[in-house]
Amino acid sequence: MDHTVSSPSTTDRLPVLFVSHGSPMFALEAGETGPALTRWGQALRQRHPGLRGVVILSPHWMAHGVEVMAHAQPPTWHDFGGFPPALYRLQYPAPGAPVLAQQVQARLAQAGIAATLNPERPLDHGAWVPLMHLLPQADVPVVQLALPVDADARAVYALGQALQDLRSQGVLLVGSGSMTHNLREFFGGERQAASYVVEFSRWVEQQVQAGAIDALLDWQQQAPHALRAHPTDEHFLPLYFALGAGAGSTPHYLSREVMYGMLAMDAFALQDE
């Protein structure tokens, strides 16, 4: 069965969300961020009973070009190894939304961005792990968007901008990444709080709060400890999807937690006042 997305009864635009999905163990070890997402999701559904779908971009789907998940019932993909058996038993059986996927494709085309539909793509952990906290009932249709392998911050920002009007049609747009993501340090066994993580994260917050998009687009040159926080940029780029989709909206931080000493779990909403 397809889940068609049409205009909800409310005229309010939905907010946009950036979440740090952290380690796959975030599904079991919720910390402070998981409950914060759950509370925010509950408030979202109360304020926006017309919530019809989620479009989420995750760095764990990287493609040569823009692809849009069009699976009617996407499986939960445990795309990781070496974790406790309990993690592999988790399922997030949210329905897909092929019609919404077509709408996403059409809006991208209107913005001059070619995209293809992928009817076989499952939900990777960058999508289903944060959604387990955000929308635990798994009853809202989900469409995942691929991160193009050659995209930079400006290109990902444009993807979000192209989909902005879906906010007025009952669709929640989510960028799922990580505010810091140095896997060599993570797997190196060091678990003491790293000062660079806080310095980098708070610099980003200052720019987000100020609406300083130019500075954020130049993050590799301007942010403190940029290359240590992100030796590669794929987990930072979903931030720009949220910023593009939420342009003109006010940021409200949900979490500034740091897990395992080096994974900043920052999450914030961009919403109209």
| 69 strand-pairing partners | 118
For residue range 158-181, what is the model confidence (pLDDT) as tens digits?
999 999 999 999 999 999 999 999
Q: Is pLDDT of 102 > 70?
A: yes
More reliable by pLDDT, 69 or 3: 69
Q: Which helix (H) or strand (E) is 54 found in, with range? A: strand 53-63
Residue 4: pLDDT band with limits 50, 70, 90: very low
Q: What is the pLDDT of residue 261?
A: 84
Angle between helices 125-134 and 33-47 (to 10 degrees): 70
Residue 153: pLDDT band with limits 50, 70, 90: very high
| Domains annotated on the chain, with CATH | 16-271 (3.40.830.10)
Tell me what percent of the residues of the chain surpass a pLDDT of 90: 89
Q: Which residues contact 14 (CB under 8 A, 6 or more apart)?
A: 44, 48, 51, 167, 168, 170, 171, 172, 173
Mean pLDDT across 231-252: 97
The two beta strands, 258-259 and 66-69, are unpaired
Q: Is pLDDT of 9 > 50?
A: no
Q: What is the pLDDT of residue 184?
A: 67
Q: What is the mean pLDDT of the chain?
A: 93
Q: How far is CA 198 from the centre of its chain?
A: 20
pTM equals 0.93
Residue 10: pLDDT band with limits 50, 70, 90: very low
For residue range 114-137, what is the model confidence (pLDDT) as tens digits?
999 999 999 999 999 999 999 999
DSSP sequence for 139-154 = -S-EEEEEEETT--HH
For residue range 31-89, what is the model confidence (pLDDT) as tens digits?
999 999 999 999 999 999 999 999 999 999 999 999 999 999 999 999 999 999 999 99
Tokens of 155: 């290109």
Q: Is pLDDT of 5 > 80?
A: no
Q: Is pLDDT of 2 > 50?
A: no
**Amino acid (1-letter code) at residue 257:** E
More reliable by pLDDT, 260 or 132: 132
For residue range 187-238, what is the model confidence (pLDDT) as tens digits?
555 555 689 999 999 999 999 999 999 999 999 999 999 999 999 999 999 9
Q: What is the pLDDT of residue 116?
A: 98
